[in-house]
Structure 1
Amino acid sequence: MIATRKPFRLLAAAVLNACLFLHSYAAAAGSDTPTPSHGIAMHGDLKYPPDFSHFDYTNPNAPKGGTLKRWSLGTFDSFNPFIIKGTPEDSIGLIYDSLMAKSDDEPFSEYGLLAESVTVPDDRRWVTFSLRPEARFSDGEPVTPEDVVFTFETLRTQGSPFYAAYYAGIEKIEAIDEHTVKFSFGDSDNRELPLIVGQVGILPKHYWEGRDFQSPSLDIPVGSGPYRLATFEAGRSATYELRDDYWGKDLPVNRGRHNFARIRFDYYRDSTVALEAFKAGEYDFRLETSSKEWATGYTGPAFDDGRISKQEVHNGNPTGMQAFIFNTRHAKFADPRVRQALAYAFDFEWTNHNIFYDAYTRTHSYFSNSEMAADKLPDADELKLLEPLRDQVPPEVFSEVYRAPTTDGSGNIRGQLRKGMRLLQQAGWTFRDNKLVNGETGEPFRFEILLVQKEFERVVAPFIRNLERMGVGVDIRIVDVSQYINRLRSFDFDMVVGSFPQSSSPGNEQRDFWGSALADLPGTRNLAGIKNPAVDALVEKLIAAPDRHSLVVAARALDRVLQWNHYVIPQYHIATWRIAYWNKFGMPETRAPYDLGLDTWWTLDAAEQERAR
């Protein structure tokens, strides 16, 4: 599944996951012939039957109209989010439809969007999609199997390196007839491939032929999705309009969604300025990531009189891993003892109380807030995966449950720092003239933390003070969004604050996070530069997991091997979305557990807005 955060704006889809089971309501029990179905699920049965009318978390009678005003941080210079050049506009994905649509109240199930049916055999070695004859691009041209073939061939050969790696299991793509496209996966054991190929926005072949796909462009592209890009001011704003002629507006997967007639995005270079603009009514909705702002910034007349609503909404997804990420390609971070030692300088308990208003929970696992977290010693099923790798993984994998360094919150961490110094000395570093230096060369230990948001400097500053007590020299470099993206793409950093978001059903994206083959490939998300055959082996076990239990076991095994290699210094997480919005929107009574569901909201009329306060 594809996962997205702002530093990785090449990707617009949600993270999909790890293995496949086809459910067809029309199939006879024990039949050897795969039967076309209205959807596919990773594990178990689909929730919704073939004749379902809408998802339970939507209001099929929601009115259409009104404008949703939103904000983005930074700037943009391109409407092509599929390449590693340029800074794409954040929400250009609104113009694209995919073959299938994900259900947000199931761990990983998809239902027909551009495809009216999907057929897959029990061994999951191929899949066919039958396209809807009525599907049209915004210029009126039909969506054809040739467009699907063109999309995948172009992305894998000319797009971001992510696509070539993520869809490497596709052996062949072919148009079977005027409405059917077939993907063949050869001998691949990647059981989620039939699902993840269904999530890609389909490109119009007739539009892109003759254009330079690999160059950033502000030409307005053509898509088959519910919105078209109506107007924009380069780097400053973009406005999308709901298509009156949208071919798929009455499909079950769309009913009750895409209710705003216009969605406008304004870009701000400073998040503090952006918050003040929100309170002044310049835009309508915020998803807050700063605990300080959430605790102190959301005040004023509009909050007092009910014009702005402030809520914390439960998040049913794994929280993933936000962390200080080491670039292990650099010699100073190659030794895991060094990485473990520096973790003792991050005093989460003090930081949480004094800076974060006790808003967060310490992260220990790459799959926190889920059953996939390795928070107990490995059981018999895990040991079956780990024992063959015993000589390739740290011994603690078998004997200890990983916990990130913990303090009493007083700020006195001398004991912690002594533990770190002992590890550094074991790794060949020595304390000389109040500086940590290499015992052989005398070179001082110094590195740079790359940031994109100035507000995060207050979080990093206490960490740096503790590192300096260990003799480590640290510099902070704050750059703009475009430079930050380019430096991440080229791995031009010592340490960054980043995240590895996870879904409820992890899968193919784990290669991009941790795979050895991608460690030196610019534009991938293996930011840490991990080259570890044990990690590679466990990622493949996870991807090939035949059922939910096997997936959970493989995820736990992978989690603990990543933990004990100390590739990152874990930070913190929160299991809610913190949202604020001007009180002029309606929303369904039932919320989806795996998504915030902003695309299911609608605009209230004036009388309804008054009653909502």
Structure 2
Amino acid sequence: MMALVLLWAAPVRAQDEIIKSHGYNFYGELSYPADFSHLGYVNPDAPKGGEISIAFVGTLDSMNPYSGKGRAHLFSVFGYESLLAEAPSGESVPADVYGEYYCLLCETVEYPADKSWVIFHMRPEARFSDGTPVTAHDIAFSHNLLLDEGLKSYADAVRKRIPKVEVIDDLTIKFYFADGISRRSLIESVGGVPAWPRAWFEKTGLGLKDTWIENPPGSGAYKVGSVDMTRRIVLERNPEYWGRDLPINKGRHNFDRIRLEIFSDDTAAFEAFKAGEYTFRREGDSKKWATGYDFPKVQNGYIVREELPDGAPATSSGIIFNLNSENLKDRRVREAVALAFNFEWTNESLQYGLFKQRASFSQDTPVMARGAPEGAELALLKSLGDVIAPEMLTTEARVPHTSNAKSLRDRRNVRAAGKLLEEAGWTVVNGKRVNAEGQPLRLNFLFDSASSPTGTAVIENFVANLQTFGVDVVLEKVDSSQYTARERDRDYDLLFESYPAMLGTGAGLRQYFGSEAAAFSLFNPAGVASPMVDAIIEASLNAETREEENAAMMALDRALRHEFIMIPVWYKQNHWTAYYDQYEHPEGQPPYALGYLDWWWFNSEKAAALKAAGALR
């Protein structure tokens, strides 16, 4: 991977402090100069062609992921681009730096030093897949459509912060930002709006509120080839893609086809991979990774089993508490429930010792809270006054409890849980925990039945252990569609889900952890609504230096762990991949993305050898 030297963005600064650049970073720094030839981690000469196929486990019923209705796959957004570059696969672009954004549909971005507005100058050559130009009118339409018909938590937040959008001409659009608010995340947020063709919506009469099977045309490298919601979705590379020669796209979008095969459960999906029904698998099941790949195609070298470094912070996965559940509002009950999760036994007995226990929302990063607060973090917490829990100023950051690796039922933790439940008013009557009115401590755990056998076993053992505490907990296994609908309705006490890992601040933190949208945000499954968390998020958004931002993010990690919204589970430090030996990737792996749908490529000679050997049809 090319070593990148940190450069100033070579912006044009007029006397009135107007900055014009090929990209954006809140602090003004860009790693790639205006005349860069390609991203440093790609192979700019990668061949084009071939197919990569992957699996999806669950059910799908829509190609519209923006309405909050139905269940759509990532492939439904793959064809859409934005003013600033983003990977359609949801990964970072560039994947070797954090917090930097480069022009894609725009040629340049222009803004004053106070970031009170932004103007995007668009590329005249940009086209949708139907050949019509992408204009500023389409960008304004898309922005307003998301406000009118998109997710409420997003729309509410954006309306307060972005009061006006102005189309200056066909290729120039200006966004105005509200006075008296943080400028953090505003430019990259409007620069990340998907570009939809206004004419398509006007012609069809459809909107975001509708379920799509046929998608509006996009301007991206891929367009939808075919859709069968019960079997597969196929994307095809657009040979007329307008942006194929842009420096930011060199060495990317290399496959002619990307195919998604749909399966009802992970066992069926794995058997299909072994049979060659799809060709790339990103493994998440530790048992399969440890023992499942000892079959002839791996032994013969037809399938490559490869671990690649993952430099991104671990996703904050865990058993999430619905904080609005009456039986979980008492923190002592949540503490007791958590003691039923035995990471050490789970990792050794079910997961082959392949994981580490996660403690933080910023695990193993410079902004992970460690020990007691000190320095800039302590000063920040003190400056926020009474909203900060006093004990947070002097105690070490919360870490998960330890358990006996040799026995699922750790007697020490059973006793500790019993004491906590007694203190919370839940006594034992005939082996069951009941309150003063004789009502049982009842919890429901919502779980996706399409989950892997190992993941299912982990949760089943947790539930069984919790039941020995006298808690009446029921594991409700439902199909993917029911799971999605009930999660959106907050119809659960517990569920296995995740929050994004945190490296830096952004307005999205309010949707994930803020009180403002806690009652309805689809991104906040715990329903976190904490004045302390709100105050720290606000402080992070108002940070003027990286040092201030890092201190605030460390404080936020500490506060979220203190509020105890989930039982953190496990993480790994590598990507587990298995694929038929017809794909290649650059030798250097960037830290923030795996990129197998982005900058990997197809080797036709290897593919022919696999077919000749009978390994693939």
Query: Which category of TM-score, normalised to the shorter sequence, fits these structures?
Result: over 0.9
1:172/1:183 contact within 8 Å kept: yes
Alpha-carbon displacement from aligned partner over 1:146-173 (angstroms, at most 9, x marks no partner): 1111111110120122421453421211
Question: Structure 2-normalised TM-score?
Answer: 0.92
Give, in whole Å, the separation in 2 of the partners of 1:299 and 1:31. Answer: 67
Give, in whole Å, the separation in 2 of the partners of 1:375 and 1:592. Answer: 26
Once the two structures are TM-superposed, the CA of residue 130 in structure 1 deviates from its matched residue by 0.5
Once the two structures are TM-superposed, the CA of residue 369 in structure 1 deviates from its matched residue by 2.1
Give, in whole Å, the separation in 1 of the partners of 2:26 and 2:384. Answer: 28
Give, in whole Å, the separation in 2 of the partners of 1:384 and 1:22. Answer: 31
Q: Which residue of 1 aligns with 2:492?
A: 493
Once the two structures are TM-superposed, the CA of residue 315 in structure 1 deviates from its matched residue by 1.0
Q: Which residue of 1 aligns with 2:200?
A: 207
Once the two structures are TM-superposed, the CA of residue 510 in structure 1 deviates from its matched residue by 1.5
Matching of residues 272-291 of structure 1 within 5 Å: 272-291=267-286
SS in 2 for 1:578: strand
Does residue 451 of structure 1 match 2:437? no
Matching of residues 527-538 of structure 1 within 5 Å: 527-538=525-536
Q: Which residue of 1 aligns with 2:81?
A: 97
1:320/1:365 contact within 8 Å kept: no
Give, in whole Å, the separation in 2 of the partners of 1:284 and 1:180. Answer: 43
Instruction: Mark the CA change 1:289 to 1:396 in structure 2 (over 3 Å): closer, same or farther.
Output: farther
Q: Which residue of 1 aligns with 2:188?
A: 195
Q: Which residue of 1 aligns with 2:143?
A: 152
Does residue 575 of structure 1 match 2:560? no
Q: Which runs of 5+ in 1 are unaligned?
A: 1-20
Choose from 209, 233, 239 the match for 1:238: 233
Q: Which residue of 2 aligns with 1:420?
A: 417
Give, in whole Å, the separation in 1 of the partners of 2:84 and 2:28. Answer: 18
Alpha-carbon displacement from aligned partner over 1:507-554 (angstroms, at most 9, x marks no partner): 222111111121211x52111112211111111222232222222111
Does residue 271 of structure 1 match 2:266? yes
Of 138-147 and 399-408, deviating more is 399-408
Instruction: Mark the CA change 1:566 to 1:353 in structure 2 (over 3 Å): closer, same or farther.
Output: same
SS in 2 for 1:95: coil
Instruction: Mark the CA change 1:607 to 1:323 in structure 2 (over 3 Å): closer, same or farther.
Output: closer
SS in 1 for 2:433: strand
Displacement over 3 Å in runs of 4+? 21-24, 388-396, 607-611
Matching of residues 67-106 of structure 1 within 5 Å: 67-101=51-85, 102-106=93-97
Does residue 476 of structure 1 match 2:460? no
Once the two structures are TM-superposed, the CA of residue 462 in structure 1 deviates from its matched residue by 2.2
Once the two structures are TM-superposed, the CA of residue 23 in structure 1 deviates from its matched residue by 5.1
Q: Which residue of 2 aligns with 1:513?
A: 512
Give, in whole Å, the separation in 2 of the partners of 1:506 and 1:286. Answer: 32
Choose from 352, 360, 364 the match for 2:359: 364
Q: Which residue of 2 aligns with 1:167?
A: 158
Alpha-carbon displacement from aligned partner over 1:391-415 (angstroms, at most 9, x marks no partner): 4444431222211111231225111
Q: Which residue of 2 aligns with 1:109?
A: 100
Question: Structure 1-normalised TM-score?
Answer: 0.92
**Counterpart residue type for residue 357 of structure 2:** R
Alpha-carbon displacement from aligned partner over 1:280-317 (angstroms, at most 9, x marks no partner): 11111111111111111122111011111111111111
SS in 1 for 2:12: coil
Q: Which residue of 2 aligns with 1:380?
A: 375
Once the two structures are TM-superposed, the CA of residue 253 in structure 1 deviates from its matched residue by 0.8
Q: Which residue of 2 aligns with 1:504?
A: 503
Q: Which residue of 2 aligns with 1:406?
A: 402
Q: Which runs of 5+ in 2 are unaligned?
A: 1-5, 86-92
Give, in whole Å, the separation in 2 of the partners of 1:270 and 1:377. Answer: 44
Of 503-512 and 136-145, deviating more is 503-512
Does residue 347 of structure 1 match 2:345? no
Q: Which residue of 2 aligns with 1:50?
A: 34
2:140/2:165 contact within 8 Å kept: yes
2:7/2:32 contact within 8 Å kept: no
Give, in whole Å, the separation in 2 of the partners of 1:393 and 1:460. Answer: 34
**Counterpart residue type for residue 25 of structure 1:** A
Give, in whole Å, the separation in 1 of the partners of 2:573 and 2:222. Answer: 31
Of 581-590 and 378-387, deviating more is 378-387
Instruction: Mark the CA change 1:44 to 1:589 in structure 2 (over 3 Å): closer, same or farther.
Output: farther
**Counterpart residue type for residue 164 of structure 1:** A
1:148/1:202 contact within 8 Å kept: yes
Q: Which residue of 2 aligns with 1:63?
A: 47
Give, in whole Å, the separation in 2 of the partners of 1:415 and 1:26. Answer: 61
Give, in whole Å, the separation in 1 of the partners of 2:75 and 2:212. Answer: 15
Identity %: 38
Give, in whole Å, the separation in 2 of the partners of 1:542 and 1:581. Answer: 41
Q: Which residue of 2 aligns with 1:184?
A: 176
